[in-house]
A = this chain, B = another copy of it.
Amino acid sequence: MHPTIDQDVARIVAAAADAAPVWACTPRAERAVVLRSISARLSTAADDLIPIARHETHLTEARLRSELARTVFQLDLFADTLDDGSYLDVRIDPADPAWPVAPRPDLRRTKVPLGPVVVFAASNFPFAFSVAGGDTASALAAGCSVILKAHPGHPDLSRATAAVVIDALTSTGAPDGVFHLIEGEAAGVEALRDRRVRAGAFTGSIAGGRALFDVAGSRPEPIPFFGELGSVNPVFVTRAADLCGGAEIAADLIGSFTLGAGQFCTKPGVVLVPRYSVLVETLGVLDLPAAAPLLNDRITAGYRVRRSELADHESVRVLRAGPDPLAPTILVTSLDAVRADSTLLEECFGPTVLVVEYDAEDDLLPLARSLAGQLTASVFADEHEPLAPALIDVLSDRAGRLLWRQWPTGVAVTAAQQHGGPYPATTAPASTSVGTAAIDRFIRPVAFQGFPLQLLPSELREAAPEQARRRP
């Protein structure tokens, strides 16, 4: 790693601040062209980038190719979002002398970019949540300049990807300074503190994310900080679901919690199952994938500590584990134990799952109510049992995405996606970092009152008031 030195951070933020208004004024169609140019160049560079990523992250070639395809798709999807324009939520209220209380002036509302944004890249998605990942794509689409703090887990890949991005920006005539790579924790914090920076975005640990959230919030001028931190993505299996399909659920659970060696924010980390279940019986005998190396030494060390805390807990028994500590691990405890010690429900980042056995289904609702904020919650139940709607109702208060008899890993990039949730899932519960709504993080509304049409942003220049009235 080559930490960016202080003077360089100051110079880079100044350049990002200079570029921001130019980029903000660049027509949406042109910003879309730039995003598509980045995606095209990333595709072309795949054979150069994948080997670097393999070397630095230990992820498989297939996984990395799929992730790069996703990264390319995200950029294109945000280009489509720009062409569509509905994300601006344009509202036009023509002047109305008969409006209640007082005559209404002509009011037209659109959204404008926030300004320079610092994006902290993630370790576990070296492409899709890193240099040219979803945060960068959505911030650039929004019209913000981006200062990208590279993740130290894949520095060479970060530099190589940044070179591709900058090449695309230059070749399409995007303003100088609209994208910068910085390295090192201190540089990231310094950039986040700079008064010219208007927002932060982050994907990573609770400790790291909370520290940065506190930096953003304690500035003389606080700024929004969109951190995606931690989640155990609880899975609820009712007795009925276990009886009718426990073996299949067990097999699919193994596939989900070991996917990518368990290094996903959406890994199902805690599974509530009835005592004496087909599910646990099956988990005891099915083949498990082989141990796989984790992303880097720091994550490996952290995983080993956390896994031991859980496995050595007096209320936990080890159902499955290999001689290699990185082998997929299945732990079992009881609902009573979890109620007595809620730290059992804290995240273990890596290939471990904690099965929590309950005796009475009546205990599931109070447990669900007491959960910390989650990215996802899954329910395996019979659609006719009364518990199902009650559980869904409670879980919709605790998670950003609910799944019915499906697994949370594999997050579709689409308009209806919601990848967020109450703290600690995120620091901003109304935000998503996956899907087209991710662009909303980097824009804010501005109303224009009484303006002549030619002085309005183009999307507000509708002459026919009746047609233009977008909302009742």
**Which range holds the interface residue count of chain A?**
35 or more
Residues on B with C-beta less than 8 A from A424 are 221
**A104, B414: Cβ atoms under 8 Å?**
yes
> Is A84 in contact with chain B by the CB < 8 A criterion?
yes
**A430, B445: Cβ atoms under 8 Å?**
yes
Oligomeric state, in copies: 2
Residues on B with C-beta less than 8 A from A224 are 428-430
Interface residues of A in 401-419 (CB under 8 A from B): 401-406, 410, 412-418
**B446, A402: Cβ atoms under 8 Å?**
yes
Interface residues of A in 430-472 (CB under 8 A from B): 430, 432, 436-437, 440, 443-452, 454-455, 457, 470-472
Residues on B with C-beta less than 8 A from A410 are 102
Interface residues of A in 70-104 (CB under 8 A from B): 70, 73, 80, 84, 86, 91-93, 99-102, 104
Q: How far is the CB of A70 from chain B (nearest CB, A)?
A: 5
Interface residues of A in 381-414 (CB under 8 A from B): 383, 388-389, 392-394, 396-397, 399-406, 410, 412-414
With contact pairs A25-B393, A404-B450, A405-B450 given, residues A415 and B221 touching in the complex (Cβ less than 8 Å): no
Residues on B with C-beta less than 8 A from A418 are 109, 445-447
CA distance A400 to B443 in the complex (A): 12
**B383, A455: Cβ atoms under 8 Å?**
yes
With contact pairs A25-B393, A397-B115 given, residues A406 and B221 touching in the complex (Cβ less than 8 Å): no
Q: How far is the CB of A85 from chain B (nearest CB, A)?
A: 10
Residues on B with C-beta less than 8 A from A451 are 392, 402, 404
A414: nearest chain-B partner, CB-CB: B93
**B417, A109: Cβ atoms under 8 Å?**
yes
**A401, B455: Cβ atoms under 8 Å?**
no
Of B84, B92, B400, B471, which contacts A86 at CB under 8 A?
B471
Of B112, B396, B404, B436, which contacts A446 at CB under 8 A?
B396
Q: How far is the CB of A384 from chain B (nearest CB, A)?
A: 9
Q: How far is the CB of A436 from chain B (nearest CB, A)?
A: 7
CA distance A217 to B394 in the complex (A): 25
Residues on B with C-beta less than 8 A from A440 are 430
CA distance A334 to B446 in the complex (A): 29
**B73, A412: Cβ atoms under 8 Å?**
no
Residues on B with C-beta less than 8 A from A447 are 400-402, 416-418
Which residues of A are interface residues toward B (Cβ below 8 A)? Answer: 21, 24-25, 66, 69-70, 73, 80, 84, 86, 91-93, 99-102, 104-105, 107-109, 112, 114-115, 198, 213-214, 217-218, 221-224, 372-373, 383, 388-389, 392-394, 396-397, 399-406, 410, 412-418, 420, 422-424, 427-430, 432, 436-437, 440, 443-452, 454-455, 457, 470-472
Q: List 8 A-B contacts (CB under 8 A).
A: A21-B393, A70-B101, A93-B414, A112-B396, A221-B423, A402-B448, A415-B471, A430-B443
